[in-house]
Structure 1
Amino acid sequence: MKIAALFPGQGSHALGMGQLMAAAFPVAQAVMNEAEATVPGLLTLMLDGPAEDLTLTANQQPALVATSVSVYRAYLAAGGPLPAYAAGHSLGEFSAHVAAGTLTLQDALRLTRKRGELMQAAVPAGVGAMSAVMGDPAVVAEVLAEMLANGSGVAEIANLNAPTQTVISGEKAAVEAAGAALRGRGLKAIPLKVSAPFHCSLMEPARAGLAGDLHAAHYGQMQFPVVANVLAEAVSDPAQVAALLEAQITGTVRWVQSVQKLSELGADTFIEFGQGTVLTGLVKRILPDARTFNVHTPDDLTAFLA
């Protein structure tokens, strides 16, 4: 069994996430305590809400890191085998690097808190938009290239999530125009309820604002490689990580290619650590025969270890 550890990104949050594992494992509770010390008020928000405040990007990002890392450390404490590789979806790449030992938990929490604040502030409310497109990604790329050539505004590929699910991001009018053009080509384009247009060139102010902090952080030796979103390649040199996390803010999350790379490297068991099952579902669409597990609660952990 060669395990790939997967860590979710925004949208996988829920009130109370990680609390059952924290109650059962002191190492998981220690992560939550460190999260509270690093981002005061975060643990209370994760427990009691209100939900709309937890959903805010600046809160959701460190909360998801805390949850994923607490669950992962409980898994190791219970005797779970060390992964061969890790990957995280967007924000989840920070959790992957904590698991690999590249980043300290405190640094990941501090960086994702600021990352969330900068991403939210990068584009005024109502200016940006994102849509999920169902259909051939080659058609999506073709339509967006035509729009770029015509000077139709910013509309770019933000996420390649599944073989027939692509997320586009950019200026509201351009994303809407792209959606209409894609529907004209027989694809489905569904507007997403998001607070900002993530993973596109409109996030340039956030990239510039976080770059200094990313490059000033300490990056330790990695216990196992992490497949980077923007490369869809396994990275084992910590000196490369800051630039890749920086590029990810404006770059495409190449999740399909990342999962395929993990499979090429020999991974046959994919474990999603943390709240939700988004990544488990995407892996099944990319690799229908893969073994997938979600570990979030003590019962999930018991089931996996059995």
Structure 2
Amino acid sequence: MNRIALLFSGQGSQYVGMGAAWYDSFLEADRIFEEAADILGYDLKTLCMKGPISQLSKTFYTQPAILTISIIAFRLYMHEVGIVPEFSAGHSLGEYSSLVSSGVLSFGDALRLVQERGRIMEEASKADLGCMVAVRGADLHLLEELCEHFTVNSQPVTIACYNSTYQYVISGHHASVAAVARQLEQQGGQITHLQVSGPFHSPLMQQAADLLALELQKYTFSEPLWPIISNVTALPYTDVNSIRQGLYLQMIRPVRWVQTMKYMEKHGVKQGIELGPRTVLKNLAKETKAAFEVLSLDRNLDRIALQHRFSLRDWVKTVLAQAISTPNTNWNEDEYQRGVILPVRRLEELLKSIELGSSSSAYEQRHEALECIRLILQTKQVTAREKEEVLDLLRRDQDGAISDFN
């Protein structure tokens, strides 16, 4: 039984040519790029496909670009695989992509939000208050102690990202960050100065966070279709107000990615799927030795593996087998014709269509198959409890494994 989590890329994953592998084979990509261009006022598709990287790496452009590519990836995932996840989460900026995927924000609203977020962050960076440094191979307790020791007055330094059990990012005032970095290097830590425009996820972004809080109030937030795990708490959001608060606090608090992965492990996730450019989150999961594998849609071999592992054809065969094998206690011929014979035929048609290479969305086909089996179970007069048990099992057992039906 597989429990899936969708993981969305953050800033720093961008590269020239991102999205090109999907563009030619997925017609909806062009429509999404067109919507983005109408909202942003510039040709985002050309920027993503052809660069230049100097422009693509500017926060003002990076954030809308990664959001757009991530939503194309999500729509492609729903088209090719189509399984509703147990959870979703995004790394920093990726949290906005997660919110769009689960229906909390419309794509258009999220695009406007991240464009303004990028502008606010770039404006804050003009003051040159600080910087960010990636740290590898350092003891976490030592890192926390050094950040506390070198934080003085208006010169804070703090852990900005708990990326993996081997990699952290510190952020803050130039002098304080440099002092911590020197100490870590003496202890054998590996230091990389990040090419970012400011001390993100640190108290120095307070003014920017306050401006973002005002912007967040302009948009409508809906209840999520599935749980979204917060960067700030590493726990699922409880309501739309907590989402607004989380996006505000995310500007000045650390991204707790390790803790997010641990939460997913604890709650039974068996498969992570990275949606967005590159394989950053897949690599972080490996470093953390997560109990579940992460596959990236931006890697062709992973994309093929996903389609094979979560075979729609095999799963519909499972649904059809369950429909036929469930005992019947309803002897009304008219009801049996409408509620069993016709939906079984529809399942057979679905299966044949898939085998012939149907272009329909996998999500829509899975949904229709579940509606067919629901009607069949109801017509055959299966008890309410048994019906829900079967439906729940079918929803979760979407990798084509027959297992529980043998």
Q: Per the shorter chain, which TM-score range?
A: over 0.9
Q: What CA deviation, in whole Å up to 9, does each residue of 1:278-306 have, x standing for no partner?
A: 00010112234422200036764333111
C-alpha spacing 1:255/1:180, structure 2 compared with 1 (3 Å)? same
Q: Which of 137, 140, 143 is the aligned partner of 1:140?
A: 143
- The 5 A counterparts of 1:111-126 are 111-124=113-126, 126=128
Describe the SS at the equivalent of 2:132: strand
User: Which residue of structure 1 lines up, in the alignment, with residue 207 of structure 2?
Assistant: 205
Distance of 1:236 and 1:9 partners within structure 2: 23
Distance of 2:215 and 2:47 partners within structure 1: 25
**Greater length-normalized contact order (CA 8 Å, ≥ 6 residues apart):** 1
Q: Is 1:28 paired with 2:21?
A: no
User: Which residue of structure 1 lines up, in the alignment, with residue 12 of structure 2?
Assistant: 11
C-alpha spacing 1:126/1:26, structure 2 compared with 1 (3 Å)? same
User: Which residue of structure 2 lines up, in the alignment, with residue 265 of structure 1?
Assistant: 267
Distance of 1:292 and 1:298 partners within structure 2: 14
Distance of 1:31 and 1:237 partners within structure 2: 28
- The 5 A counterparts of 1:1-306 are 1-41=2-42, 42-124=44-126, 126-134=128-136, 135-148=138-151, 151=153, 153-296=155-298, 300-306=302-308
Distance of 1:299 and 1:36 partners within structure 2: 31
Distance of 1:282 and 1:193 partners within structure 2: 19
Describe the SS at the equivalent of 2:225: coil
The residue type equivalent to 2:99 in the other structure is H
Range 85-94 or range 32-41, more displaced? 32-41
Unmatched 5+ residue regions in structure 2? 309-406
The CA deviation at 1:107 is 0.9
The residue type equivalent to 2:140 in the other structure is P
C-alpha spacing 1:298/1:218, structure 2 compared with 1 (3 Å)? farther
Range 15-24 or range 82-91, more displaced? 15-24
Aligned residues: 305
The CA deviation at 1:138 is 1.2
| Greater strand fraction, Structure 1 or Structure 2 | 1
- Tell me if the contact between 1:22 and 1:29 (Cα under 8 Å) persists in the aligned partners: yes
The residue type equivalent to 1:175 in the other structure is V
The CA deviation at 1:205 is 1.9
The CA deviation at 1:43 is 2.2
- Tell me if the contact between 1:80 and 1:305 (Cα under 8 Å) persists in the aligned partners: no
Q: TM-score, normalised by structure 2?
A: 0.72
Distance of 1:201 and 1:236 partners within structure 2: 25
Q: TM-score, normalised by structure 1?
A: 0.94
- Tell me if the contact between 2:131 and 2:174 (Cα under 8 Å) persists in the aligned partners: yes
Range 72-81 or range 94-103, more displaced? 72-81
The residue type equivalent to 2:14 in the other structure is H
Of structures 1 and 2, the larger Rg is shown by: 2
Describe the SS at the equivalent of 1:121: helix
Q: Please tell me the root mean square deviation across aligned C-alpha atoms, in Å.
A: 1.7
The CA deviation at 1:151 is 4.5
The CA deviation at 1:83 is 1.1
- Tell me if the contact between 1:29 and 1:70 (Cα under 8 Å) persists in the aligned partners: no
Unmatched 5+ residue regions in structure 1? none
Range 219-228 or range 27-36, more displaced? 27-36
The CA deviation at 1:187 is 2.9
C-alpha spacing 1:59/1:152, structure 2 compared with 1 (3 Å)? closer
- Tell me if the contact between 1:133 and 1:189 (Cα under 8 Å) persists in the aligned partners: yes
The CA deviation at 1:47 is 2.3
C-alpha spacing 1:138/1:252, structure 2 compared with 1 (3 Å)? same
Distance of 2:9 and 2:76 partners within structure 1: 17
